[in-house]
Structure 1
Amino acid sequence: MLNSKIIAQMPKVELHCHLDGSLSLACIKDLAKNAGINLELTDEEILKKAQAPENTRNLLEYLARFDFVLPLLQTYKNLELAAYDVVQEAAKDNVKYIEIRFAPSQHLQENLTLEEAVEAVIAGLARAENDFDIRANALVCGLKQEPIEKLSKLPLLFDKITDEHLVGFDMAGDELNYPQEKFATLLGEITMRGVHVTLHAGECPNCEQNVLDAVEMGATRIGHGIMTKNLSQNQQTMMVERRIVLEMAPTSNFQTKAVETVAAYPFKDFYDKGLHVTLNTDNRTVSATTLQKEYEKISKWYPDFGLADFEKINHYAIDGAFIGQAEKENLHKQFSKAYQALSE
């Protein structure tokens, strides 16, 4: 088992991080002050509202925690600050590349447009890049439970916003009641524009068909993908051959009841089969975690998962990142050099 000091020194990539679920306590208080909202809560009370309990009953109870912070994220200033904060926290984990996803339709209560919401987040990412040794990009996220008429506006964002920080599209939310097949037309509008796609799928029990549907609809990455474990060997082999990246997040995966025991957690089995697994926080605040803690969990659960294995999953993440080939090659070289130094 690797010690925490070595894990802290590892450069990391994070592909699956939600903006509104990953705000630091200090940031939440600043956002409230900017919004003119007196929380009248102690730090402990704020965290109780923003964090999901360890024994969350299901995915929907977990998702309810986002309702607390959303009123604080309705202005350009606060969205910019929030994006900056998440990158700052990731940099503390020695993350060198991160993609942060958010649903712009959730931030329009004070008359921001969809474009302005995206531009605010991009501005925060860019400011953080100037202050920390990290690259940060944004993914637009649609929520499955929203009306399709509302979701249909999201593809147009990729026509209107040409900033290099906007790199992909995701769909999240209530997977159980809104299976992937419902969004085939919407995803066709996205992929026809050449936009990179990652989709939440396989996070709830017995929803493995959503994983297959997501791949069929153009996703090169799967958010969580726990139920890939229920796919046939041929189907798993297909995912290996197509280099589909699984964005796994141990703490979150247990909280949402995608899995309930370490013995049933498929991370190591996936890895041993050659599936392109990666490690992520999902929601730093809602899950009360950091990427450091996620790495420590994997190291504890699988003591033989060593430095070279962590390096490999980071190379998987780089391969799956929604960036150009030249930037990927630079990251591969940077990570290979850093991990070699750690092994000496």
Structure 2
Amino acid sequence: MSQRYSNDFLKAMPKADLHLHLDGSLRPAGLIEMAKRSGVELPSYTVDGLYEQVFKESYNDLGEYLNGFQYTCAVLRDMENLEQAAYELAMDNLAEGVIYIEVRFAPQLMMDPSRGIDFDRVMHTVNDGLKRAQDEYNQQAEVRDGNKPPFHYGIINCAMRMFGKKGFSPYYTQLFQTLRDHEPKQVIKIAAMEMIRASIRLRDEEGLPIVGLDIAGQEMGYPAHDFKEVYEYAHQNFLLKTVHAGEAYGAESIFEALTQCYADRLGHGYSLFSPDMIQDESIEDKSGYASKLASFIADRRIAIEVCITSNLQTNPAIGDVRNHNFKHMYANRLATVICTDNRLVSRTTVTNEYELALQTADIPLKRLKDIVAYGFKKNFFPGDYLAKRAYAKQALQYFDTLAAQHQISE
């Protein structure tokens, strides 16, 4: 690990997390509290027990990694729990210097029509929790006086790439029953289009800071082009777009996200520098294809949301962190944003992810500042462009102040 920076500096410096799943980032003690309150059965009611049985340091595969979401999603269908989770997530980020977050989740996983929990109620509840944390933090004297940057946030709504007829959520179960004569893929696309239309309505009519669209879930077998119309609708309505791409599939999935879904950012993008993961038989020169794609992404300044711990856990073949493809992203001057993915499921923090990134490359202060800057310049800020620029400038000036205080220089 680079010895340039102390943990105290990495924790204090202003940071952004742009790839942050609400349902994967609960406090473990909070999950236990919520489960008891809502009558949700857990494998254990102690933090150590949950860590041992569910939220592990390492996983055998993606399926085991995703196992814990059945418990978090179950408790988040209680609106008191949902607001608490959003509030606590913001406060946990603020405790380690993360002053801008984009919280993403699939609202339809939380909906329960039989209990009156519809899309609007879910979205307002999440926003209430985030806004409460924002108001508390931004009322501090240091923030009001301009000595520290304020906290801001946006919400990214996820469409699910796939879901079954039963068990994913009450909303999805009911939708399959209502549309029982449709093909499953048609039902999935209808749900995605319904979600994006409702997202834009709430943004435009009620001012909720819904800033982006994502598709989440199993990448293999559920390509991005299935959601081309959904992304076109978002694109035509000035909603920004990120895509889970290149996490568990080859670089061709990244190409598809860019060309079929107008992606403004890429979630994970790990396989970009793993040409062996390409499965499209029409691509004969896999290394050449990956190299051209990487150069295109770098030239267009399309940011990659890098989640190192998550990649190590869902792809055990990577092994040591020094084998992670972040080192290639860094060497090829890609715009990278260091993110957590799931703070609980991956048992990580943004500070920890920076420490891991620093194990893959020796990053001087100027390049570290560049990486920090991408989190503020490539985000989907809920205000206008001028407000976004001013906020980024304030955050980076604060970075310089802290670097001087910690006596860090080139």
- Gap runs ≥5 in structure 1: none
Q: How do 1:222-241 residues align onto structure 2 when only pairs under 5 Å count?
A: 222-229=266-273, 230=275, 231-241=289-299
Deviations 1:62-101, CA, capped at 9 Å, x for gaps: 1222112111011222211111111111111101110000
- Cα distance in 2 for partners of 1:227, 1:256 equals 13
Q: Secondary structure at the match of 1:154?
A: helix
- Cα distance in 2 for partners of 1:85, 1:343 equals 28
What's the counterpart of residue 175 of structure 1? 219
Match of 2:162 among 114, 138, 145: 145
What letter corresponds to residue 129 of structure 1 in structure 2? Q
- Cα distance in 2 for partners of 1:327, 1:171 equals 28
- Cα distance in 2 for partners of 1:207, 1:130 equals 42
Q: How do 1:193-342 residues align onto structure 2 when only pairs under 5 Å count?
A: 193-204=237-248, 206-216=249-259, 217-229=261-273, 230=275, 231-257=289-315, 259-302=318-361, 304-323=362-381, 324-342=384-402
Matched, 1:92 2:95: yes
Q: How do 1:156-171 residues align onto structure 2 when only pairs under 5 Å count?
A: 156-162=197-203, 163-171=207-215
Q: Secondary structure at the match of 2:347?
A: coil
- Cα distance in 2 for partners of 1:341, 1:317 equals 18
CA spacing shift, 1:112–1:153, aligned 2, 3 Å: same
What's the counterpart of residue 186 of structure 1? 230
Q: Secondary structure at the match of 1:85?
A: helix
- Gap runs ≥5 in structure 2: 138-149, 164-187, 276-288, 405-410
Aligned-pair distance for 1:177?
2.1
What letter corresponds to residue 152 of structure 2 in structure 1? R
What's the counterpart of residue 103 of structure 1? 106
CA spacing shift, 1:115–1:49, aligned 2, 3 Å: farther
Matched, 1:41 2:45: yes
- Cα distance in 1 for partners of 2:387, 2:7 equals 29
Contact 1:50 1:285 in 2 (8 A): no
Contact 2:326 2:360 in 1 (8 A): no
What's the counterpart of residue 23 of structure 1? 26
Instruction: Output the aligned Cα RMSD.
Output: 1.9
Q: Percent identity?
A: 28
- Cα distance in 1 for partners of 2:41, 2:21 equals 25
Deviations 1:107-150, CA, capped at 9 Å, x for gaps: 12344112211111111111110122521211101110132222
Moved more, 13-22 or 42-51: 42-51
CA spacing shift, 1:325–1:49, aligned 2, 3 Å: farther
Aligned-pair distance for 1:52?
3.9
Aligned-pair distance for 1:263?
4.0
What letter corresponds to residue 256 of structure 1 in structure 2? T
- Cα distance in 1 for partners of 2:373, 2:40 equals 43
Aligned-pair distance for 1:253?
0.9
- Cα distance in 2 for partners of 1:31, 1:233 equals 47
Q: Give me the TM-score of the superposition, normalised by structure 1.
A: 0.93
- Cα distance in 1 for partners of 2:56, 2:191 equals 28
CA spacing shift, 1:326–1:48, aligned 2, 3 Å: farther
What letter corresponds to residue 137 of structure 1 in structure 2? G
Aligned-pair distance for 1:338?
1.9
Match of 2:153 among 107, 116, 136: 136
Aligned-pair distance for 1:222?
0.5
Q: Give me the TM-score of the superposition, normalised by structure 2.
A: 0.79
What letter corresponds to residue 299 of structure 1 in structure 2? L
- Cα distance in 1 for partners of 2:26, 2:125 equals 16
- Cα distance in 2 for partners of 1:169, 1:159 equals 10
Q: Secondary structure at the match of 2:159?
A: strand
Matched, 1:4 2:7: yes
- Cα distance in 2 for partners of 1:37, 1:274 equals 46
CA spacing shift, 1:136–1:49, aligned 2, 3 Å: farther
- Cα distance in 1 for partners of 2:268, 2:303 equals 10
Q: Secondary structure at the match of 1:17?
A: strand
- Cα distance in 2 for partners of 1:45, 1:261 equals 26
What's the counterpart of residue 155 of structure 1? 196
Aligned-pair distance for 1:164?
4.1
